[in-house]
Structure 1
Amino acid sequence: MAATRVIASAGNAVSGILLCKGQSRAAPQSLNLCFRNGRLLNQRRRLFTCNAIHIPQVQIKEAGQPESFDYRVFFVDNSGKKISPWHDIPLHLGDGVFNFIVEIPKESSTKMEVATDEVYTPIKQDTKKGNLRYYPYNINWNYGLLPQTWEDPSLANAEVEGAFGDNDPVDVVEIGESQGKIGQVLKVKPLAALAMIDEGELDWKIVAISLDDPRGPLVNDVDDVEKHFPGTLTAIRDWFRDYKIPDGKPANRFGLGNKPANKDYALKVITETNEAWAKLVKRSIPSGELSLV
């Protein structure tokens, strides 16, 4: 049996108390705090469409050997209980700041992803046709997901050629200078959105920057990215357009005029996909093979 060991803390503690709109099924993690009508409520329930919730310090544990079929990176709370990085890490931190979970550190090529069909949705290496997957070249930015978001495959987006969601959490391309670690939780602010169409499916790429990055205070919208990170938006679009070509597949396409949308549009995408996730975990939408634990 593969050894299991704690390898890192998943970034800074993600905590806070914000206003919530609703709540749903019981969750295994520790007590959440939430205000309703000005009163503090104590409850052991997962909170949906919240601007924030309180969760304990998160750690990650790896099981198995890296670059193997059984390798997994699990998330645990401070009591040692497993939690889902997709479902149990809060999305919102308030003031336009969000939690971002690193799946693939910048300047690496191993294609890691949250296993949306496995209990507790650990991070694993993607596979295809019985082989472990690697990008044909390094990705130049930290890449991962926004927790508590979901691109609904039953929903056609009229603004992006009627493309349906890809059945995954929303992807983030974090452009800061530091290399993240697998499973690290970073506080980021969105700057732009790219509407990638991958084999007919809509696969949003939210361009964001860590609050800890030295240039973070200088960039607040899409135009700031071009000013302080010249050429980066074009490089991101071209990288995701072309990365499947070496495998004999056609280039990906982009909606919205092949241009990055601004911060407001990115926030709209995040809101809509957070609402779709809330419907999913409330069982308002069939989950199919997705794990809701």
Structure 2
Amino acid sequence: MAMRALLHAPTSPPYFLCHSRLSKTVAAGSLPSVYLFSRRTSIASLRCQSSTTTLETSKYQAKEEGKPDTFEYRVFFFDSAGKKVSPWHDIPLKAGDGLFHFVVEIPKETSAKMEVATEEPHTPIKQDTKKGKLRFYPYNINWNYGLLPQTWEDPSHSNAEVEGAFGDNDPVDVVEIGERRAEIGEVLKVKPLAILAMIDEGELDWKVIAISADDPKASLVNDADDVEKHFPGTLEAIRVWFRDYKIPDGKPANKFGLGNKAAGKDYALKVINETNKFWSSLLTRSTPAGDLSLI
């Protein structure tokens, strides 16, 4: 097993420290080497860089089990007390000051389709499979991608505002547009800016567009109009990416509700609050869980 503790530097982005890969014990107060994962088409590539900044340990740690790019590979989460937790159920949705926690499943500029295993105990991150093969997007995703914890798109709920589509039985997805490539298993604080109502094979699959609170442009963007101003073309690029990514596999393009464009921050917050209530009903078993793990 490789334990990767999420580290935060006051003046630099967070990195993952691969404890089990360190060649020797690091003396207290010294600066360790930090391993950064460089994922372009997979998550197996590894390089080592030196840190020059004092680092502070995050509340959550990610532990790898198995080898990357295999069916057995999992990333489990642990809290500061060393207790195994679910990134879906146990990490709080709200992060304070109007921010929300975002769990990174797929780092930007990578193509391995990583996702929280909603049917497995403690819902670790794994690589999705199809027809007995590991799944990869046909091309890299251009933004950090993951989920909002403690949300759920209820498959028994028909949304009258989006063609009556039913939820896709997953947590709400997040597309984070900041400049830094995050790492698998990172937990970031993000600001919701807009939302897309994607309809994937008849199921409603919300895409919240957000930005990390630590991004240099975070203070400049507060709604969809600000995204157009400071990240011109990004909302349409996200819509087109998710519209077309299944076409190379011979499937039709995905559709979108809400006028085929991104709705603003207020609508995004409405969806987040609604899906948080759906999750609460799921966890209290007011709504049947089916095969989903509630641990």
Normalised by the size of structure 1, how large is the TM-score? 0.83
2:2 equivalent to 1:5: yes
Match of 1:89 among 88, 91, 103: 91
Structure 1 gaps of 5+ residues are 13-55
- Aligned equivalent of 2:283: 281
Match of 2:149 among 137, 147, 150: 147
1:259-274 to structure 2, matched below 5 A, reads: 259-274=261-276
Q: In the aligned structure 2, how far is the partner of 1:143 from the partner of 1:249?
A: 22
Q: In the aligned structure 2, how far is the partner of 1:258 from the partner of 1:95?
A: 31
**SS at 1:58's partner residue?**
strand
Q: Is the 8 A contact 1:8 1:59 kept in 2?
A: yes
Match of 1:101 among 100, 103, 108: 103
Q: Is the 8 A contact 2:94 2:100 kept in 1?
A: yes
1:20-59 to structure 2, matched below 5 A, reads: 57-59=59-61
CA shift at 1:11, angstroms?
6.3
1:1-293 to structure 2, matched below 5 A, reads: 4-9=1-6, 57-293=59-295
**SS at 1:57's partner residue?**
strand
CA shift at 1:77, angstroms?
1.4
**What amino acid maps onto 2:110 in structure 1?**
S
CA shift at 1:165, angstroms?
0.1
Q: In the aligned structure 2, how far is the partner of 1:11 from the partner of 1:198?
A: 36
> Identical aligned pairs, as a percentage?
74
**SS at 1:212's partner residue?**
coil
- Aligned equivalent of 2:41: none
Q: Is the 8 A contact 1:143 1:173 kept in 2?
A: yes
Structure 2 gaps of 5+ residues are 10-57
Q: In the aligned structure 2, how far is the partner of 1:238 from the partner of 1:10?
A: 34
CA shift at 1:10, angstroms?
7.1
**What amino acid maps onto 1:189 in structure 2?**
K
Q: Give the paired residue count.
A: 247
CA shift at 1:136, angstroms?
0.2
User: Are residues 164 and 11 of structure 1, via their aligned partners in 2, closer, same or farther at CA, if it must alter by over 3 Å?
Assistant: farther
Q: Is the 8 A contact 2:228 2:235 kept in 1?
A: yes
CA shift at 1:79, angstroms?
2.4
Normalised by the size of structure 2, how large is the TM-score? 0.82
CA shift at 1:5, angstroms?
1.7
**SS at 1:269's partner residue?**
helix
Residues 153-199 of structure 1 show CA distances to partners (whole Å, capped at 9, x for unaligned) of 00000000000000000000000000000000000000000000000
Q: In the aligned structure 1, how far is the partner of 2:114 from the partner of 2:85?
A: 18
Q: In the aligned structure 2, how far is the partner of 1:224 from the partner of 1:11?
A: 28
Residues 91-110 of structure 1 show CA distances to partners (whole Å, capped at 9, x for unaligned) of 01223200000000000000
**SS at 1:187's partner residue?**
strand
Runs of 4+ in 1 over 3 A off after TM superposition: none
Residues 27-62 of structure 1 show CA distances to partners (whole Å, capped at 9, x for unaligned) of xxxxxxxxxxxxxxxxxxxxxxxxxxxxx8110000
User: Are residues 11 and 145 of structure 1, via their aligned partners in 2, closer, same or farther at CA, if it must alter by over 3 Å?
Assistant: farther
